Chains A and B, each alone.
Chain A
Amino acid sequence: MTPWMALCIVVPLGGAAVSLALHGRLLAQRVIGVAAVATTVALALAVLVQVDHDGRISADLGGWPVPIGITLVADRLSALMLVIGTVMLFAVLVYALGQRAQDERSPWYVPVYLVLTAGVCQAFLAGDLFNLFVSFEVLLMSSYVLVTLEGNDRQIRAGITYVVINVIESTLLLLAVALVFAATGTLNLAELPRRLAELPAGVALGLNLLLLLAFGLKAAVFPLFSWLPDSYPAAPSPVTAVFAGLLTKVGVYAIIRTQTQLFPGELRTLLMVVAGLTMVVGVLGAIAQSDMKRILSFHIVSQIGYMVMGLAIGGVAAIAATIFFVLHQIPTKTSLFLVEGIVERETGTSSTTGGAAGMARRSGPLALLFLLPALSLAGIPPLSGFVGKVALVESGFARDAWVVTAVALGVSLLTLVSMVKIWSGVFWGDVPGRTAATDGTLGTDAAEGRDDRDGERPVAGVLRRHPLMSAVTGGVVALTLAIALLAGPVYRYCERAARQLAVPAGQVGGPAAGEARGENP
């Protein structure tokens, strides 16, 4: 048994420990932070390679067998999430260090961020419900700190909403976990499907709904989403980026896990309704906003709807589409927030009603870095969002889920509308306080390539002023393009992952597997 999985959690925790001990030495902290997360990325890749070869790997921590010890399990879905998650965490960490902001100077940033990394890794590798709950707590605790890192009034206000809603979520989850244990006598995800099937239908349904409620709160589905657009925008941009890209997706991951493996296809109608409403309400909320960060935050909600939709449609094809969509969504969403961070750094605002106008003129490349993921989000071919949406829509048609599919298509259009709103408010137009006389060719939308050279002349190199931030943003955007470019192999991997989810696990640890070795832990 290879220790890669356990090390995915231990390495960031160890990094957090060392960087805490180096309290006050920022440079050393940063070096350790970057090194630890980079190592975690490498470990995650090792897990992915091994999982794709072996199918599913598990490790009993400390050699304690299943009913006593903690089991880490990685299947294809968790390995994929692990890799994309750690890559995003790495990118955002480097970006944040490149940002000369307050959070980067805080001695807390690196240690807390590393704990967050450990929590995310643990969530994806958790082999039982309780461990999943614990990892949610680990990542939530650190996210509380990150949300309120600057400690200004706005953050504290938003932080209170965030903390309260998440404490409620944790309580519900703990309650659900306790009830599941009371009803079935196990929390092992591999063991549960069999035991849950023996329960009376009503009990199983109750457990299912309670788990869905808890995870739905975390994933911000309708009608449990209103905390998200309220709290995320208040956090520093790199923090929002990783929250937007990852944390809600951990909730989605948990929903996928429970709805495919524990309660396969039981709540299809409910999920369908939730998916449709999440998409519509999210996108309408986005259109009504006039701040780039808030628009993007509402879009997190809207896009979650697509993932739930795939889950509601059910079947291997739809689940594969969902997994692909999550994979596309994480870097796309992250990169949009990273671009927003640069805009905010440059102009001091992220409002779409002036202030930040004319970014395309100041920096064409930056506009391009926004445009690509924005179009991808709306599902314009040939970007990754298009592939994901086509797959979702196809599986919807194949299963005669006409209404929700039609809603999904309509919401795509509205997504485009709100992206255009950001584009016209932030990137297009003239730089405020500077007349258009500086160049004659008033920015035509088709000419970003040429436009950037025109726009760069007056205010030299927005991107060059923030080299690290720009490089990271560029890298993440390149990753979204790579997902589109390699859509074939990536999609086939997603299909393998979906097929694996369709088959109940059950291999890890048979009933009452073995007795305790040695003595009590």
Chain B
Amino acid sequence: MSRPRDSVILTTSVNGLVPVLVLVAVVVTFRGHNAPGGGFAGGLIVAAAVILRYLADGPRAVDRLPVQPMTLVGAGLCLAVAVAVAPLFVGGQVLESYIWTLDVPAVGKVKVVSSAGFDLGVFLLVVGAVTGMLAAFVEADDAEAPDVVGSAILESGPADDRAPDGRVADGRLADGRSSADPTGGGPGSRR
């Protein structure tokens, strides 16, 4: 599904931003052990990256996701629960954390903390949950006004960058709304 109108500026900046965001998310997640941050914050940052992609590319950003959001949520929760329960099998307590210090050649001492797995679980869960919500909205929008979904959000921004084909899209949006959804719910109401 192709969107009628792409903003070059947005697409270009998102292309640059997304890798940075993912990197920042990884850093935030792992520094969360001793400093502000953690899986939740990191997950939100990745989710923000996905939302940016969606703003730039429209619904195909969501269609292109390699993993189903709900699978992520399930996997994240599974991982968190597994890390929580694992200490029981080695005689510890639920949620107990173990710290190993490894000597990695050329890097030096690396501290490995078992509770980082918990953070990773939270990370996956948050990414999955937020993208899941996004996907649900996209689905709902698709059902109401196919094709022009992405632009409906964008159009709340500056309205003067409309290319001629943007007008076509607008006309179609207006038509679709008047015939299918006269009450003006869905994308129209956002403007």
Contacts and interface: CB of A to CB of B under 8 A. Distances in A.
A3 B77 contact: no
Nearest to A9: B94
B94 A17 contact: no
Given A22-B74, A23-B70, A63 B92 contact: yes
Contact of B74 (A6, A21, A61): A21
A10 B84 contact: yes
Interface in A52-89: 59-63
A19 B74 CA distance: 7
Contacts of B78: 14, 17-18, 21
B70 A61 contact: no
Contact of A14 (B71, B81, B93): B81
A59 B97 CA distance: 15
Contact of B93 (A17, A20, A21, A62): A62
Interface string A1-32: 10100110010011011111111000000000
A507 interface: no
B28 interface: no
B74 A18 contact: yes
A6 B99 contact: no
B88 A20 contact: no
Contacts of B73: 20
Contacts, number: 69
A20 B92 contact: no
Contacts of A63: 92-93, 96
Given A14-B81, A18-B74, A62 B68 contact: no
Contacts of A10: 81, 84-85, 94
A489 interface: no
B92 A21 contact: no
Nearest to B95: A62
A520 interface: yes
A518 interface: yes
B18 interface: no
B34 interface: yes
A519 interface: yes
Interface in A80-100: none
A7 B77 contact: no
B14 to A, nearest CB: 29
A60 B78 CA distance: 22
B75 interface: yes
Given A3-B93, A62-B97, A63-B93, A21 B84 contact: no
Contacts of B76: 17
Interface in B58-114: 68, 70-71, 73-78, 80-82, 84-85, 88, 92-97, 99
A100 to B, nearest CB: 24
Contacts of B81: 10, 13-14, 17
Given A6-B95, A520-B34, A13 B74 contact: no
Contacts of A17: 74-78, 80-81
Contacts of B34: 519-520
A18 B80 CA distance: 12
Given A10-B81, A14-B81, A17-B77, A61 B93 contact: yes
Decide if the interface of chain A is mainly helix, strand, loop or mixed. Answer: helix
A289 B135 CA distance: 42
A19 B94 CA distance: 21
Contacts of A521: 97, 115
A518 B68 CA distance: 38
A18 B70 CA distance: 11
A13 to B, nearest CB: 6
Interface residues of A, number: 25
Contacts of A519: 34
Nearest to B113: A519
Contacts of B70: 20-21, 23
A380 to B, nearest CB: 45
Nearest to B88: A3
Contacts of B71: 21, 23
Nearest to A520: B34
A61 B87 CA distance: 11
Interface string A376-410: 00000000000000000000000000000000000
A16 B77 contact: yes
A3 B74 contact: no
Contacts of A7: 85, 88, 94
Interface in A496-521: 518-521
Contacts of A61: 93-95
A14 B85 contact: yes
A16 B81 CA distance: 10
Nearest to B97: A62
A336 to B, nearest CB: 34
A111 B88 CA distance: 24
Contacts of A13: 77, 81
Given A10-B84, A23-B68, A62 B77 contact: no
Contacts of B94: 3, 6-7, 10, 59, 61-62
Given A3-B88, A10-B85, A20 B96 contact: no
Contacts of B99: 518
A518 B98 CA distance: 10
A142 B94 CA distance: 24
Given A14-B78, A518-B99, A1 B93 contact: yes
A520 B31 CA distance: 12
Contacts of B93: 1, 3, 6, 59-63
14 contacts: A10-B81, A14-B78, A17-B74, A17-B77, A18-B78, A19-B74, A20-B70, A23-B68, A23-B74, A59-B94, A61-B93, A62-B93, A62-B94, A518-B99
For the complex of A and B, 9 pairs with smallest distance between CB atoms: A21-B74, A17-B77, A20-B74, A6-B94, A62-B95, A14-B81, A17-B78, A23-B70, A61-B95
Given A17-B74, A23-B74, 15 more contacts: A7-B94, A10-B84, A13-B81, A14-B77, A14-B85, A17-B76, A17-B78, A21-B71, A21-B74, A23-B68, A61-B93, A62-B97, A111-B74, A518-B99, A521-B115
Interface of A: 1, 3, 6-7, 10, 13-14, 16-23, 59-63, 111, 518-521
